[in-house]
């Protein structure tokens, strides 16, 4: 029987790694493209050994990535957390309404995954959600957004449509953008700031691991702009 994990936790250490506890599984997830070169799917990669607790690099300098090797001390890392502490729904930039779906968008969470760019884009697909194919694609694209920037809501029930995730972590690889991506946190894992503040628990969110996000501890897509490459 599958072991359910409910108590996974990530503590953001001051100017240091993410301290992970609770037997959280860790794997690699790879962003793949369709034949037109548009981002379309996730592919599972390496599965890392299960450990009760471990430290994941967030400075971007570790030579044993995704784990911390202490490089943040030598190459002094400023990991100051600058992200808003408001809840997702208090950070929205826009709401897009269609006949069947509504789409909420909080850009500060964007990890530059680019699933939302495919076809005519998630916003237009939502506007056209009276068409079953458009509706299906809008749901798929929003659910594929690792950062939880985009959430689709069923207008009939008023509920968010979310992928079913167990608590787990994944390090993202983005070969089409020629870079390594963030840490994808799934299934409502508690993330705690260095000062003890508990960020809103969410089904999907991404944490910076290049060390350069302006929205720490969350990813802001900077890894794509700088071509970040993790060591392993």
Shortest approach of ligand FES to residue 114 CB, angstroms?
26
Shortest approach of ligand FES to residue 99 CB, angstroms?
47
Question: Exposure of 157 by Cβ count < 10 A (0-12 exposed, 13-18 middle, 19+ buried)?
Answer: exposed
CA 71 to chain CA centroid, Å, is 24
Separation CA 227–CA 174 (nearest Å): 10
68 touches ligand FES (CB under 6 A): yes
Q: Pattern of binders to ligand FES over 11-40, x per CB under 6 A?
A: -----xx-----------------------
66 touches ligand FES (CB under 6 A): no
Which segment (39-47, 54-62, 135-143, 166-174) binds ligand FES by CB under 6 A?
A: 54-62
Residue nearer to ligand FES on the CB measure, 59 or 101: 59
69 touches ligand FES (CB under 6 A): yes
Binding-site member from 12, 20, 29, 62 for ligand FES (CB under 6 A): 62
DSSP one-letter code for 7: -
| 3-class SS shares of the chain: helix, strand, coil, % to 5 | 15, 30, 55
180 touches ligand FES (CB under 6 A): no
216 touches ligand FES (CB under 6 A): no
Give the C-alpha distances (Å, rounded to integers) separating 101 from 27, 136, 184.
32, 10, 25
Binding-site member from 28, 72, 204, 216 for ligand FES (CB under 6 A): 72
59 touches ligand FES (CB under 6 A): yes
Can you tell me whether residue 130 is helix, strand or coil? Answer: coil
Which segment (57-65, 88-96, 179-187, 215-223) binds ligand FES by CB under 6 A?
A: 57-65
Residue nearer to ligand FES on the CB measure, 59 or 205: 59
Q: If binding means CB under 6 A, how many residues of this protein chain bind ligand FES? A: 12
The number of residues in the chain equals 232
Question: Exposure of 76 by Cβ count < 10 A (0-12 exposed, 13-18 middle, 19+ buried)?
Answer: exposed
Residue nearer to ligand FES on the CB measure, 71 or 222: 71
Whether omega before 95 lies within 30 degrees of 0, making that bond cis, reads no
Q: Sheet of 9-12: strands edge to edge? A: 53-56, 18-21, 9-12, 190-192
Residue nearer to ligand FES on the CB measure, 142 or 183: 183
What lies within 8 Å, CB to CB, of 77 at 6+ separation is 15, 16, 58, 59, 61, 211
Residues of this chain that interact with ligand FES (CB under 6 A) are 16-17, 57-59, 61-62, 68-72
């Amino acid at each position: 029987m599958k072991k359910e994990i409910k108590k996974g936790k990530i503590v953001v250490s001051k100017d240091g790694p993410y301290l992970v506890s609770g037997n959280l599984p860790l794997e690699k997830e790879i962003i793949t493209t369709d034949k037109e070169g548009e981002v379309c799917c996730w592919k599972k990669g390496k599965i890392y050994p299960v450990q009760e607790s471990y430290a994941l690099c967030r400075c971007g300098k570790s030579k044993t990535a995704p784990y911390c090797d202490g490089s943040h001390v030598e190459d002094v890392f400023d990991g100051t957390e600058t992200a808003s502490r408001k809840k997702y729904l208090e950070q929205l930039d826009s709401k897009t309404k269609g006949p069947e779906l509504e789409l909420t968008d909080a850009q500060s969470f964007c990890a530059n995954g680019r699933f939302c760019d495919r076809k005519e884009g998630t916003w237009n697909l939502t506007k056209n959600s009276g068409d079953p194919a458009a509706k299906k694609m809008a749901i798929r694209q929003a659910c594929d957004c690792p950062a939880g920037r985009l959430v689709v809501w069923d207008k009939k029930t008023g509920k968010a449509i979310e992928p079913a995730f167990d608590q787990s972590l994944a390090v993202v690889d983005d070969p089409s953008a020629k870079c390594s991506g963030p840490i994808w946190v799934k299934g409502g894992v508690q993330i705690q700031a260095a000062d003890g503040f508990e960020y809103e628990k969410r089904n999907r969110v991404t944490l910076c691991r290049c060390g350069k996000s302006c929205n720490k501890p969350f990813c802001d897509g900077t890894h794509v702009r700088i071509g970040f490459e993790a060591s392993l």
